[in-house]
Structure 1
Amino acid sequence: MNNTRFSFRFLRPLLSHNTRTNMSAQAGNMEKMSNTLSGSFSEADKHENTWVRTSKTIIAKLAAPLLPKMGLTADRTAPVTLLDNAAGAGVMAQEVNRTLPRTTLQAGSILATDFSEALVGITQERIKTEGWINTEARVADAQDTKLPDNTYSHVSILLGLHIIPNPDAAVKEAIRVLKPGGVFGATTFPTHTENKFWFADVKTAFDAMPFDAPLPDKMPMQMHDSGTWYEPAWVATHLESLGLKDVKVNVQGDSYYIRSADEFIDMFGMMLGFVTKMFWSEEQLAAHSADEVKALVHKHLVEKHKGQGWEVKWDVIYMTGRVDK
């Protein structure tokens, strides 16, 4: 999750490729998105159970494919010193603790950072209750961590580079703190020809509401005007230009089975507040409470999926590179 002002994995797809031609006109919208997200993340501790559940389930599935691409595998014996920036509720630390041998974990360390004190607090509690080995969480900015040079064997940023205001600074910071030969790994969302993930069901639910419920046809995929982190070819070239070697970028899809409308609301309900504050007028927000919106979305999902479970699908851009210094 973003280590600068906001951090929520589900809110990461945020500014589409179509905005490149009118980016100046989008500046106000991007600032509004930032402020809306910042408010959501500052209250993350109010939804601690949801953060932990999603980290253990759907977000774990998004994160797990990055580990082998970074050389973090179950047969690894070399010590690992991992810095996970924009860590959110600690999903990367969770997956590394789940994957690496105990002896490898004991010989290394994991530092999970996020700009949100609430999210860092959740991760710190998870470290204690779940018994993560040699793992620490602290507040830090991915763009300027204040950590020493040449310290880490691995640095990761999950679903953050299309949100962090200065993504190049975050990558350069990762390169600075990596040891020679160290590995950088990150993920972003690509553009889609069709709506996917949580947005697909929220879009049909809003379209079915008995009143005007504005929502764009496509959810934007980036929240700043620094590059095009939703285009795999651009990502590969750009990471090389920033100094990384052996850059590898690929798009990988997966899905998660949502058991019921109740589970969908539990996992993605916080997004409803985000999209209404982002795209609705003050009058519309005043006329329709969050509880009313949530109830209407729930009703629509029960009808749409005939009271059964269904799959939510996604694509993720996975990127890795090596530091040569």
Structure 2
Amino acid sequence: METQLEQIRNLQKKTWNQSSPGWKKWDKLTMDFLKPVGEEIIRKLAPHGDDYVLDIATGTGEPGLTIAAMLNNGKVIMTDLAEGMLEVARENAAQRGIKNIETVVCDVSELPFQDNTFDVISCRMGFMFFPDMLMAATEMIRVLKPGGRIAASVWNGPDKNLWFTTAMSSVNRNMTLPPPLPGAPGMFRCAEENLMVDLFSKVGFKNISQKNIEDKLNCGTADVYWSFVSEVVGPVVNSLSMADDTLKQKIKDEIYTTINDTYPNGKVAIDFSANVIYGEK
């Protein structure tokens, strides 16, 4: 693997491991937030029976755990680059009594599985963060059986995802952040129209479709929103880690003002928009 890709991968691994305690703390809110996307992925994949499923970039376990609970004799292999995230996924599985899962720490660009292994692949909000998306998609189609199904989701543009830009706008106004590495992953890297459809087509997937999902982050109060973004949302967490207490407080105050001005009734529900892309081998 090229040095630049290794740098990006190592940074990703460090970032997700550092944020895994926050993900554990806010798992219920996060999973409720992302549930509409996960439901569409599952609807398209229609997992059943003895399907052998690969859930890539599983994080704290979804949609892999929900899929596992749907299978009679099947199994879900849940992979992630970060050991800390998979630890939370295993805890969630144990709490729900789900046993037909296995977790594997690995890089999506070097999947440790034989060709034609899986019936189904799911990947919720992973592609934007893969160092080499083409390599990742190539690996996915390699390990998928002929006729196998894949569904993945990515964020649409920043103008449609105020749950993220509300916080990052304040961060960017107050901080001069170091430029990302060339070609580095990012939240809205896959937002360009038909980018994912073209990527799936390029590696050989067929019967490709795409559906837009729009909903809201229902966090209720400015306090909950601030705690969520400052403990879970990677770019915000990373940026705040480079700010002193005074600057953090300034950013926090700005975000509170924006939220309270936008939602004067105190019911904070912030827009999000994502695409779910489906294909078959």
Task: Give the TM-score, by structure 1 length.
Answer: 0.71
CA contact (8 A) 1:205 1:300 kept: no
CA contact (8 A) 1:50 1:267 kept: no
Aligned counterpart, 1:239: 200
CA contact (8 A) 1:253 1:313 kept: yes
CA contact (8 A) 1:184 1:321 kept: yes
- 1:68 corresponds, among 43, 46, 52, to 43
Aligned-pair CA distance for 1:197? 3.5
Change in Cα spacing, 1:171 to 1:51, as seen in structure 2 (3 Å) is farther
Change in Cα spacing, 1:33 to 1:265, as seen in structure 2 (3 Å) is farther
Aligned-pair CA distance for 1:223? 3.6
Aligned counterpart, 1:315: 273
Compare 291-300 and 165-174 and name the one that shifted more: 291-300
Letter in 1 for 2:276: Y
Q: Does 1:167 align with 2:133?
A: yes
Instruction: Report SS of the residue matched to 1:107.
Output: coil
Instruction: Report SS of the residue matched to 2:87.
Output: helix
Q: Does 1:147 align with 2:113?
A: yes
What are the residue-to-residue correspondences of 1:224-235 with 2, within 5 Å?
224=185, 229-235=190-196
CA contact (8 A) 1:55 1:90 kept: no
Deviation digits for residues 29-63 of structure 1 (CA, Å, limit 9, x no counterpart) = x9998776544322234325334223431122332
Aligned counterpart, 1:253: 214
Aligned counterpart, 1:50: 25
- 2:164 corresponds, among 181, 195, 199, to 199
CA contact (8 A) 1:83 1:152 kept: yes
Instruction: Report SS of the residue matched to 2:115.
Output: coil
CA contact (8 A) 2:134 2:199 kept: no
Letter in 2 for 1:46: P
Change in Cα spacing, 1:71 to 1:145, as seen in structure 2 (3 Å) is same
Aligned counterpart, 1:18: none
CA contact (8 A) 2:120 2:144 kept: yes
Q: Does 1:136 align with 2:85?
A: no
Instruction: Report SS of the residue matched to 1:150.
Output: coil
CA contact (8 A) 1:272 1:294 kept: no
Aligned counterpart, 1:84: 55
Count of residue pairs brought into register by the alignment: 272
Change in Cα spacing, 1:82 to 1:55, as seen in structure 2 (3 Å) is farther
Aligned counterpart, 2:226: 265
Structure 2 unaligned spans of 5+ = 178-182
- 1:274 corresponds, among 217, 223, 235, to 235
Instruction: Report SS of the residue matched to 1:231.
Output: coil
Aligned counterpart, 2:180: none
Aligned-pair CA distance for 1:186? 0.8
Distance between the aligned counterparts of 1:276 and 1:51, measured in 2? 14
Deviation digits for residues 177-198 of structure 1 (CA, Å, limit 9, x no counterpart) = 1111101111112225x25242
Distance between the aligned counterparts of 2:87 and 2:201, measured in 1? 35
CA contact (8 A) 2:23 2:232 kept: no
CA contact (8 A) 2:119 2:148 kept: yes
Letter in 2 for 1:139: V
Distance between the aligned counterparts of 1:66 and 1:117, measured in 2? 24
Instruction: Report SS of the residue matched to 1:182.
Output: strand
Aligned-pair CA distance for 1:114? 0.4
Change in Cα spacing, 1:134 to 1:33, as seen in structure 2 (3 Å) is closer
Change in Cα spacing, 1:61 to 1:174, as seen in structure 2 (3 Å) is same
Structure 1 unaligned spans of 5+ = 5-27, 217-221
Instruction: Report SS of the residue matched to 2:63.
Output: helix
Letter in 2 for 1:64: E
Task: Give the TM-score, by structure 2 length.
Answer: 0.81
CA contact (8 A) 1:232 1:317 kept: no
Give the aligned CA root-mean-square deviation in angstroms. Answer: 3.4
